[in-house]
Amino acid sequence: MEAGCVTGDRINGVADGVSGKWFIKFNLLSHAMKRGLPVTSVICRMALQDILLNAVGLDIVRNKSKVVDFMQDSDKVTVILEDGQHYDGDVLVGADGIWSKVRSKLFGQEEAKYSDYTCYSGLANFVPPYIDTIGYRVFLGLNQYFVASDVGNGKMQWYGFHKEPPNNTDPPGGKKKRLLNLYGHWCKEVVELISETQEDMILRRDIYDRDMIYTWGIGRVTLLGDAAHPMQPNLGQGGCMAIEDCYQLILELDKFVSSGLDFQHSNGISTMLRRYERKRMFRISTVHAASRMASKSLTAYRPYLEFGSGPLSNMSSPKIIKPSVHVVRAFLQFFMLRFMIWMMAGHGFGWKRSR
């Protein structure tokens, strides 16, 4: 936990991108404490990978040699690496991401689905004046949105999503310039973060996901994380769901070992892996669907009344909130808060309150 940055003890929520005004705020601290859970934190993926790698041990991890194929029989599963080497094991867990070779071998090739959004991500060596009060904020706009979070050590991580066709590119040195064009009329909190980010610290990628599948494996083979259920990053849950998958799989493996069954017992292994998949399915499919829905809703995001003609048409940029927005806000205050609580604490692992 020391390597991460606690954000759940501050204000988190959703705001309008242009005005910067809060749309909804989440109280994550009290709900975490009530359930005996750690307060929401964020951590750099590279830092987390280093922690996990050191915990497992460098001597048993092989890098720079992808799995390209596998074979299985009643006694074992054999993976084939891109360098031609073969390794035998009792279980194969395909955790090789959205372009998973293991998934393709199991269920055949399928096209990933473009989300209609490209994503710019940036890391700024910048401490905003609101750092002590705001941890994580999503700014909404028409066909674009912006996510900003404190990640500790004097850094802010942000993501800018824009609706456009896939495979577009920026000229060298042109990412920051384009972002300032896209978000230049937004609130100062957004513009400031982009302005404080160096060009070489901005990356761009198109966002894809895949339709849910409701069986993740066959025999001694299963999938985990993006290989099983790649989802759009709108709720920030892709990595979180993968970690939950790991935990559930560990529980099932532990039960299998405790039962006294041998790993040569292929039917027992298959039953255990399918049970892991079933226990994860409802939660994963719910978060997957909600992640898709979040970006689609922005195609109709127009929170202010527009005066196209008539006596008010000459008013300069009127900021009169639509009555329907108040209804939506009230609905989200009730529904979205509960969904966020379920997303944080609805994993069902039965963790006990820490002392």
* pLDDT of 68: 95
Average pLDDT over residues 94-123: 96
Of the candidate ranges 64-78, 189-203, 216-230, 341-355, the one whose mean pLDDT is the lowest:
341-355
* pLDDT of 312: 45
Average pLDDT over residues 195-224: 97
Q: Coil, helix or strand for 63?
A: coil
Q: Is position 103 within any domain?
A: yes
Q: What angle do CA 134, 178, 307 make, to 5 degrees?
A: 75
> What does the pLDDT look like over 168-190, one tens digit per residue?
999 888 999 999 999 999 999 99
| Number of domains composing the chain | 1
CA nearest to 40, candidates 106, 135, 153: 135
Range of the domain at 100: 62-112+210-298
Q: Is position 351 within any domain?
A: no
User: Judging by beta carbons within 10 Å of its beta carbon (0-12, 13-18, 19+), is residue 29 exposed, middle or buried?
Assistant: middle
Across the chain, mean pLDDT equals: 87
| Better pLDDT: 337 or 348 | 337
* pLDDT of 350: 54
Q: Is position 256 within any domain?
A: yes
> What does the pLDDT look like over 89-105, one tens digit per residue?
999 999 999 999 999 99
Q: Is position 9 within any domain?
A: no
pLDDT value at 131 more than 90: yes
End-to-end alpha-carbon separation of the chain, Å? 16
134-141/5-6 β-pairing: unpaired
CATH of the domain at 271: 3.50.50.60
* pLDDT of 344: 73
* Alpha carbon distances (Å) from 312 to 19, 306, 308, 317: 21, 9, 8, 11
Q: Is position 185 within any domain?
A: no
Q: Is position 98 within any domain?
A: yes
> What does the pLDDT look like over 266-299, one tens digit per residue?
789 999 999 999 999 999 999 999 999 887 776 6
* pLDDT of 320: 55
Q: Is position 231 within any domain?
A: yes
Of the candidate ranges 8-12, 40-44, 303-307, the one whose mean pLDDT is the lowest:
303-307
Q: Is position 343 within any domain?
A: no
